Chains A and B, each alone.
Chain A
Amino acid sequence: MTIRNQMNESGADVRLHGVARSWGATTALSGISLHVRAGSFCVLLGPSGCGKTTCLRIVAGLEQASAGVVEIGGRDVTALPPAQRGVAMVFQSYALFPHLTVAENIMFGLKARSVPKPDRLRRLDRAVEILGIGHLLARRPGQLSGGQQQRVALGRAIVAEAPVCLMDEPLSNLDAQLRAEMRREILALQRRLGITMLYVTHDQTEAMGMADQVVLLRDGRVEQDAPPADMYSRPATSFAASFIGTPPMNLLKLSHEGMVPGTGGPVLGPPRAAATLAGIRPEALRLSDHGIPAEVTHAEYLGADTVMVCSVGAEGRLLARLPGRVAIADGALVHFDFGPADLHLFDAATGHRIPQPA
């Protein structure tokens, strides 16, 4: 018990070494390695079908890895059943027991583990106080709203007092406003309890807003593993570049001379034999009398800013996010300028970032 509590004070490290999983011919994960530091918030991000859920379920022990090792708190748990791994999990569907009251749902695991009653009630009280669900304790899940069910599912994870908490797209069933609220709440909860969080989402705004560490997955591989700020400012691949940001980074195919085909300049990249992509974030672009020439196709006013969709050269498309309201007629010719640090170059064939001379 005391060991559990000590672990809980600071969460526990989670390490994956070459974890792979395949079903017959389909490979969900191929050799994932990552390290989530104790007490940190890690987001597994990626498009649908990239293997996020599989990865989380392998950490939970609900799925067996075909290869590789899972370590939690320095312990090899690869062969351990879920209950002995020291993890709590919040399911996308919440997985509440429909015939039990909220209180019974929250204490289900404590009863199953024969935690003594006073201890059970103390943990329940604490979770109820943190989540503000005292008035719901006697209700059944069917009598709760989506947000309230979500809170109960969180409560069940809190009372487990496990050093690691796993969440699989926990907010996907909520409306936009509630989602923003629960996002803040989950983050505050993780900070307050000091647990290690492994959080799965396909929504990059969630990842950017909550994570200490973002692990971007693509087709069962780690595409990039970095803090959100680095992922934004130095995407390792063109895929990472195009997945992060609203709207995501512009990627323009360059000619061998390093220009956008069909424009007379400027030169964006060094002349290369291999095909090159130039990446510029929409919010890095500003209107100017020189720079990349573009024709406005369409402007979308969003209140705080305006997203301008333009065509560049022969077949390029460029999105610019300009502050405030910008009134420019469709079809107008404009130029976009940007700082030298805002230009990212990628190899078009491999997608890898091309290092630039400082």
Chain B
Amino acid sequence: MAGVRRETLQAWALILPALVLLVAFTHWPAVATLVDSLYTTPKGSRPPRFVGVENYVALMDDPVFWRALHNNAVYALVTIPASVVLALLMALAVNTALPGRPLLRMAYFTPTMLPMIAVANIWLFFFTPDYGLFDRIVGVFGMGRHNWLGDAATALPAMMAVAVWKEAGFFMIFYLAALQAMPPDLKEAASLEGSSRWNFFRRVTLPLLMPTTLFVLVNAVINAFRLVDHVVVMTRGGPDNATTLLLYYIYETGFRFWDTAMAATLTVVLLALLGTLAIFQFGVLGRRVHYR
């Protein structure tokens, strides 16, 4: 009996450091945010007042919130498939025996190693009117100058291009690892059986990559709502909220307008959204994934 007690104590002692950090920086703030979202923002001498779901009702009437939600949905629906497909294509390309393969792998991986702020500054230059990379390229085809980040029609696509560029290399590493773990004799067996390369890719490679795809997808979804550094650096949500994403809107509401109650409300909505997506991914996709 005493031995069991001792072991239990030791076990608790071992997980305590991690537990303290998790509670202090993750769970407690999450609960506190939920509570804050049910109160008004304290102003000067006025203490917070309990208002129930009033903040949520107000949010429903906020056009900027809907704009941010819409932007983020478009952003996610484009960047997630684009970066995952691009990652897979790059991994397949560098997995074949090419001369200079290590260099190519390095090149693809570089964006991942750069901090997002640095990435944003590089792309800021690409998008510069007149002498930026993009204007030079379209200039070759006889098109005039374009203010990529200043035009509401092109600002969000510009943000998406940066995100895909940044993410694809990171996801490629996971696909590459999975491809290299695949036994080469599967391919040889298939080639003896008369399976074309496309047939092998569709019937063998792709299904065997499903666990990796699920992992990458979950990360891609989270990043689609999490990575806003480039918005901060490049557009600050403009022009006219064309590039305002949910997390950037939370930041603005909380730390520029100092409406902490509304920021908390937005945070809860974002958390609920991410939670629902995660449950959906693991529940629906997870069942169709073959784990070896």
Chain A interface (Cβ within 8 Å of chain B)? 60-62, 81-83, 87-89, 91, 93, 95, 97-99, 108-109, 112-113, 142, 156, 160
State A144–B262 Cα separation when bound (angstroms): 58
Docked-complex contact A109 and B195, CB < 8 angstroms? yes
Q: Is residue B186 contacting chain A, with contact meaning CB distance below 8 A?
A: yes
Chain B interface (Cβ within 8 Å of chain A)? 183, 185-186, 188-196, 199, 203-204, 207-208, 290, 292
A112 and B204 contact, Cβ closer than 8 Å, known pairs A95-B185, A99-B290: no
Counting from the closest, the 4 A-B pairs by CB-CB distance are A109-B193, A83-B194, A112-B195, A95-B189
Docked-complex contact A98 and B195, CB < 8 angstroms? no
State A97–B194 Cα separation when bound (angstroms): 15
With a CB–CB cut-off of 8 A, which chain B residues contact A60?
Answer: 192
Nearest CB in chain B: distance from A49 CB, A: 19
State A252–B151 Cα separation when bound (angstroms): 94
State A142–B208 Cα separation when bound (angstroms): 14
Mind listing 25 A-B residue pairs with CB under 8 Å? A62-B192, A81-B191, A82-B188, A89-B192, A91-B188, A91-B189, A93-B183, A95-B183, A95-B189, A97-B203, A97-B204, A98-B208, A98-B290, A99-B204, A99-B208, A99-B292, A108-B193, A108-B195, A109-B190, A109-B192, A109-B193, A109-B194, A109-B195, A156-B189, A156-B193
Docked-complex contact A83 and B192, CB < 8 angstroms? yes
Docked-complex contact A112 and B194, CB < 8 angstroms? yes
Docked-complex contact B183 and A108, CB < 8 angstroms? no
Docked-complex contact A87 and B192, CB < 8 angstroms? yes
Docked-complex contact A62 and B188, CB < 8 angstroms? yes
Contacting residue for B193 out of A61, A62, A99, A113, CB 8 A = A113
With a CB–CB cut-off of 8 A, which chain A residues contact B183?
Answer: 93, 95
State A59–B62 Cα separation when bound (angstroms): 72
Docked-complex contact B189 and A99, CB < 8 angstroms? no
SS of B interface (majority): helix
State A81–B194 Cα separation when bound (angstroms): 9
With a CB–CB cut-off of 8 A, which chain A residues contact B195?
Answer: 83, 108-109, 112
Q: Which B residue sits closest to A63, measured CB to CB?
A: B188
With a CB–CB cut-off of 8 A, which chain B residues contact A108?
Answer: 190, 193, 195, 203
Nearest CB in chain B: distance from A193 CB, A: 17
Nearest CB in chain A: distance from B115 CB, A: 38
State A201–B68 Cα separation when bound (angstroms): 67
State A99–B203 Cα separation when bound (angstroms): 9
With a CB–CB cut-off of 8 A, which chain B residues contact A61?
Answer: 192
Docked-complex contact A62 and B191, CB < 8 angstroms? yes
Nearest CB in chain B: distance from A79 CB, A: 15
Q: Which A residue sits closest to B182, measured CB to CB?
A: A98
Docked-complex contact A112 and B190, CB < 8 angstroms? yes
State A82–B185 Cα separation when bound (angstroms): 13
Contacting residue for A99 out of B185, B192, B194, B207, CB 8 A = B207
Docked-complex contact A89 and B189, CB < 8 angstroms? yes
State A88–B188 Cα separation when bound (angstroms): 11
State A167–B290 Cα separation when bound (angstroms): 29
State A97–B207 Cα separation when bound (angstroms): 10
Docked-complex contact A88 and B208, CB < 8 angstroms? no
State A109–B192 Cα separation when bound (angstroms): 8
Q: Which B residue sits closest to A84, measured CB to CB?
A: B194
Contacting residue for B194 out of A93, A95, A98, A113, CB 8 A = A113
